[in-house]
A and B are shown apart, each in its own frame.
Chain A
């Protein structure tokens, strides 16, 4: 297991409810220590890369299908 720090740009958030929904979506897909800045849309969080593939973060349920939130991985440390 390796802990990775991820920075992701989130599009489609307009209010604190959106921030909560996206945070919850990230958490249920394996992210922890989540912080999201509504104004810039930047999220940072930790994942365990043996359980969560950073390349697949863009397609977790909160960003897929009919969801109007889109996430783009900007950096993985």
Chain B
């Protein structure tokens, strides 16, 4: 590495994940490929989503689903048997899928942009215009006019005595295993824990989710949380809630966890531990003070234009202090940030229009406000919930533990939020996004004919339930 005059760039992006790629490509488009862009980070190109996040997790979810669907006795007369599993083969195919996605959508794509130079190493500000890139070969300084902070987030690993010695998995390395853990303890119970927990249970693990709190999320409707927990329990996932893990000890046969439950201490042996206690923004080591960028342990503070407290420096994705950590949000924010750098038309992020999902079965998806969020914000709202059994397609599918909920403005009926727990919820939630984006009200929804019979009809039936007693409606009532 050189000690010459630092190389200069129009835009330096700290990160090589979803936010970074989206920003680098959009900035290239906006400037006809003339902005000189540096992108730096560690690990494989593409960051969390493609390598250790959305892609491998959804691959595992779908594989586990196909196994259970082959075994489940859903309709009388269709005889199915217990399938067998070659876990190492499945995980090998998962890793190949990740590799080909990364090659095609990241490594090959970036080669089309000669204006983007990819660096390898962690970056740290030395002054408001300069970052130092540090890797195994040494240090190199580069200078930029604009910067995008897109350093993502990392799994939170709790400080539990004995945990490091006993060894554990996180969502960073679980994709490397080739033997399915017999007894798996998942410490923490967020979205990743639920998706991986249900999938590994379906593939043959006995999964125990260990949580200090009984809730899955602070914003989800409690009825939805209960229904989701019920589904997982029906499939054999065990929930230990209201307990805290005091210590971990490796034994000849496994890993023994000691928990406190009230005054009692309980010991349980597991074969493997997966830590899933949420993710913390990667702000450490960036030396943001030197760049005049305000941040806290919750992430980098930005305005809705994705600008930080230094007007030349923007941030996008998981590193931002905000309520969601999502691939789509990271990509959108990356694109918004560079549009605001290079275009006169300024764009804002609207978190209310960002849909998100938990890929359990049934899936949970939400957009806009939940009742809890509306209450916390002092917004008046009225809500209705409909059971999947009240939707004709739900009955045909023999679905249960499914729910639809609409949160509306009591004054004008405008849709403020939608929650769905049902098959295809992640696909159906897009209707909710358009309703909120267009400022539609419940009547607009009721007056829109949906295909019969579909699960999506549940959204319309929920809107009807604001005006009618659904138990007195025939199934083809408009």
Contacts and interface: CB of A to CB of B under 8 A. Distances in A.
A40 B311 CA distance: 23
Contacts of B32: 11-12, 14, 68
Most chain B C-beta atoms within 10 Å of own C-beta, residue among A12, A64, A68, A70? A70
A63 B343 CA distance: 8
A30 interface: no
A1 B344 CA distance: 25
B88 interface: no
A12 B31 contact: yes
B335 to A, nearest CB: 15
Interface string A8-27: 01011010000000000000
Contacts of B30: 11, 70
Nearest to B344: A59
Chain A residues touching B, majority SS: mixed
Interface residues of B, number: 12
Contacts of A74: 145
B35 interface: yes
Contacts of B263: none
Contacts, number: 28
Given A68-B32, A70-B30, A70-B31, A11 B342 contact: yes
A12 B145 contact: no
B469 interface: no
A58 B343 CA distance: 7
A72 interface: yes
Nearest to A57: B344
A11 B344 contact: no
The 9 closest A-B pairs by CB, nearest first: A59-B344, A11-B31, A12-B32, A11-B34, A70-B342, A58-B344, A64-B344, A70-B31, A68-B32
Interface of A: 9, 11-12, 14, 41, 58-59, 63-64, 68, 70, 72, 74
Given A11-B34, A59-B344, A68-B32, 4 more contacts: A11-B30, A11-B32, A12-B32, A64-B344
